[in-house]
Amino acid sequence: MVQHLKHAYIAGTGYYVPKKVLTNKDLEKIVDTSDEWITTRTGIKERRIAAREETTSVIGAKAAKQALKAAGIKADELDLIITATITPDMPFPATSALIQNIIGACKAGVVDIEAACSGYIYAISMANQFIRTGEYKNILIVASEILSRITDWEDRNTCVLFGDAAGAAVIRESQSKSEIIAAYLGGDGAYKDLLYLPGGGSLNPVSKATIDKRLHYIKMKGNETFKVAVTQMSLSAEKVLEKAGMTKKDVSLLVPHQANLRIIQAVQKRLELPDDKVYINVNRYGNTSAATIAVAIAEAVQEGKVKKGDIILFVAFGGGFTWASALIRW
């Protein structure tokens, strides 16, 4: 007997951003930079910074509760929680386990994935497979980052880029035409030295030497990263459209990774999409790694910019390097 695969869809979204706002003018007092320099090169005007008592699991749980409410289900109905983060509360237990405890999802399995800025789309792809095969019915994906704690506030080239935020989505079996149509995942470890955090793992475990060398902060070669990001985000978008049998003309809204306005505009140009078909909030939050798309789509839904039946294109690029794309029928 042939078993037909089910369809999965995004049943609800949510997000949380910390209250503290760090503007470009504030950064002028910390490092040798200017509002004009930051805005021209990145499009970022401000970013959010988590309070001391806020952790990745705490802000992730706040986004998760919103998503559960939007989806109309309770935490104890969840079968699995997948958290995408490069800033876990601690190496273990998994941040998903900590979120599970906070929200009371006592029946859910828990797992974290580390794909940097592409993590949210990787989580969508994983959840989609579990739903389609019938393994699980209700999955929560969370993308939560507190990058301010791995940002070198003495490095004028990187400290202007990053912020803190969390987004979440509930993935369920679809009973309508709404569905996760296709996803594409990619990566190349040969670029590992262009964007990375060298300290704290098995290669450079914590020591006085690693602290003195400031190895526990994000390191990035900006120009090289920019070039690969534009190329791979554009190719990822094209690949997932081809996989779905669609074209760029079918796209209702592009929700890209919010790392840099110039990267977004370059990808937009290659896809020949008008401004009203691209969602941008990098100016308000900066780069929040895995959380950027999760926050952006939740905002777009709340703002009424996403309608039933719309074709939404997610595309991301992150350290590793990793890249990914997903096509959603809302």
**Marked catalytic residue, from 7, 138, 257, 260:** 257
Query: Is the bond into 226 cis (omega within 30 degrees of 0)?
Result: no
Distance of alpha carbon 285 from the chain centroid:
12
- Burial string for 248-270 (b: 16+ CB within 10 Å, else e) reads eeebbbbbbbbbbbebbbbbbeb
DSSP track, 213-266: TTTTS-EE-HHHHHHHHHHHHHHHHHHHHHHHT--GGG-SEEEE--S-HHHHHH
Is residue 117 part of the annotated active site? The answer reads yes
Would you call 203 helix, strand, or coil by DSSP?
A: coil
The helix or strand, by DSSP H or E, that contains position 136, with its residue range, turns out to be none
Q: Which residues contact 53 (CB under 8 A, 6 or more apart)?
A: none
**Which tokens go with 143?**
């993308």
**Marked catalytic residue, from 128, 138, 260, 287:** 287
Is residue 287 part of the annotated active site? The answer reads yes
Q: What is the spatial distance between Cα 237 and Cα 278, in angstroms, rounded to a whole number? A: 13
**Marked catalytic residue, from 117, 128, 138, 260:** 117
Is residue 257 part of the annotated active site? The answer reads yes
Q: What is the spatial distance between Cα 208 and Cα 213, in angstroms, rounded to a whole number? A: 9
**Which tokens go with 62?**
């706040």
- Active-site positions read 117, 257, 287
